[in-house]
Amino acid sequence: MADNRQLWAELGIDLDRHDVLLGGLGPAYKEIYLSQKDRPRGMGFYDFVVGDIHGIRVHELQEHAKEGGKVVATYCVFVPEELVWAAGAIPVGLCAGAQFSVPIAEEVLPRNTCPLIKSSFGFKLGRVCPYVQSSHLIVGETTCDGKKKMYEILGRQQPVYVMEVPNKKGPLGRALWYGEVVAFKDVIEKLTGNEITAEKLAEATRKVNGRRLALKRLQALRQATPAPISGKDGLLVNQVSFYDDVTRNTQMVNALCDELDQRAAEGRGVFPAGAPRILVSGSPMAIPNWKLHHVIESAGAVVVGEESCVGTRCFEDLVPETGGTLEEQLRAIADRYMQIHCACFTPNDERLDDIIRLARETKADGVVHYNLQFCQTYASEAVKVEEALGKAGIPLLRVETDYSDEDAGQLRTRVEAFLEMVRR
């Protein structure tokens, strides 16, 4: 702990504010996570990670930096992390799921901005995140207008590079995106002073695919009846994968899956076999955003998957490990990332197909469409989601919420009413 405080001070953290942030996290985690019964032993690792959330991993990043290594921070699953690893740098997905930093951001950003944007910006403005303080470059993207404009302001405080994500997935959009991937490779090479060779890129691709496969395995295990792991724990595993070391993370997820395999074989679940099964779909839930899952599972249902960027959109598709020339690999990477069905694209009907497929695969009794407040792309796309699920005969509840607890009671009431309907 003393070590941590010294490290945070060296990183320019506002220690008083940071104490308040961490002081709130512990009790919340205890209430939401540690109160769960019969959790898999493998979740012990994740309890440890959250218990020292700004400690060990930040020390690892600093060790890497002392040896001349670079840390590259990201906010979106569109940034191709394979290129970062291949250059010997470490990518870190920044948290943006805390209400704590929202009021700090509102001193600058319009209040009617999505909480994910405000939370991430507030972490920097308030100097309470050692991950953002540790990063040598923040990589943004043009997925939505709020983020684009936030990155411009963020760039006054720390180096920011923005990748242009097209709005359409036709040949022109794909050509633009391929160019962006090549340009990103150059940016990372310049930052690190390391050349990204075909061999290094193939190795990085194998590593990142390994983690995706482990997370896919976990998702497949969540399909068992009764569910061998809670949705809250499943979500946490996905959240931690954004900033943990890729090799260690793969090992820990696979170790957890070995245990869940055993549980599934024994028919041992964390909820009764008849508990309603819910698929959550929509905006990503960055750590420590556990609000909706907690409401759903406190009402007796189990969340069996997330059609989300902190969920299936992040790990379902692999980069083909074809090897070959650097250009061939860069094309394979660009193609893989264009399979992410974010609501920033028009049209984005593949996402509708994904939600229906996942609802069936997970044997979900209903879907809760999760919309972060003021996120227009997901809110508008919910209209089509509702139509598509209606045609498929899958019950849907649309919720729009933020990170505060102000609407928790109302949310609970709506979720409970939905579960009643689903149970009939």
Q: How far, in Å, CA of 290 to CA of 222, rounded? A: 18
* Among the listed residues 114, 196, 359, 397, the single contact to ligand BJ8 using CB under 6 A: 114
> Based on CB atoms, which residue is closest to ligand BJ8, 132 or 275?
132
- 382 touching ligand BJ8, by CB under 6 A: no
> Based on CB atoms, which residue is closest to ligand BJ8, 167 or 197?
167
Q: How far, in Å, CA of 390 to CA of 369, rounded? A: 13
* Among the listed residues 122, 130, 234, 284, the single contact to ligand BJ8 using CB under 6 A: 284
Query: Do residues 388 and 355 make contact, with C-beta atoms less than 8 angstroms apart?
Result: yes
Q: How far, in Å, CA of 235 to CA of 285, rounded? A: 8
Q: How far is the CB of 195 from ligand BJ8 (least distance, A)?
A: 28
Per the DSSP assignment, residues forming a β-bridge with 93 are 74
> Based on CB atoms, which residue is closest to ligand BJ8, 11 or 310?
310
- 235 touching ligand BJ8, by CB under 6 A: no
Query: Do residues 134 and 61 make contact, with C-beta atoms less than 8 angstroms apart?
Result: yes
Q: How many chain residues touch ligand BJ8 (CB under 6 A)?
A: 20
> What are the DSSP E strand ranges found in 217-287?
277-282
Helix (H) or strand (E) holding 307, with range, is strand 302-307
- 344 touching ligand BJ8, by CB under 6 A: yes
* Count of Cβ atoms closer than 10 Å to residue 62 Cβ: 17
Q: DSSP secondary-structure letter at 280? A: E
* Among the listed residues 33, 78, 315, 337, the single contact to ligand BJ8 using CB under 6 A: 78
Q: How far is the CB of 23 from ligand BJ8 (least distance, A)?
A: 27
3-state secondary structure of 44: helix
- 146 touching ligand BJ8, by CB under 6 A: yes
Instruction: Tokens 């993370």: give the residue.
Output: 249
* Among the listed residues 295, 309, 356, 367, the single contact to ligand BJ8 using CB under 6 A: 309
Binding segment for ligand BJ8 (CB under 6 A), chosen from 122-130, 289-297, 339-347, 404-412, is 339-347
Burial class (CB within 10 angstroms; exposed 0-12, middle 13-18, buried 19+) of 306: buried
- 77 touching ligand BJ8, by CB under 6 A: yes
Q: How far is the CB of 76 from ligand BJ8 (least distance, A)?
A: 3
Using alpha carbons, list the distances in angstroms from residue 13 to 9, 50, 67: 5, 19, 22
- 283 touching ligand BJ8, by CB under 6 A: yes
- Which tokens belong to 403? 């990170």
* Count of Cβ atoms closer than 10 Å to residue 16 Cβ: 8
Binding segment for ligand BJ8 (CB under 6 A), chosen from 16-24, 232-240, 348-356, 371-379, is 371-379
Q: How far is the CB of 317 from ligand BJ8 (least distance, A)?
A: 13
Q: Which amino acid is at 292?
A: L
Binding segment for ligand BJ8 (CB under 6 A), chosen from 98-106, 173-181, 234-242, 369-377, is 369-377
> Based on CB atoms, which residue is closest to ligand BJ8, 77 or 319?
77
> What are the φ and ψ backbone dihedral angles of 335, each rounded to 5 degrees?
-65, -40
Which residues contribute to the site for ligand BJ8 (CB under 6 A)?
A: 76-78, 114, 116-117, 143-144, 146-147, 283-284, 309, 340, 342, 344, 372, 375, 377-378
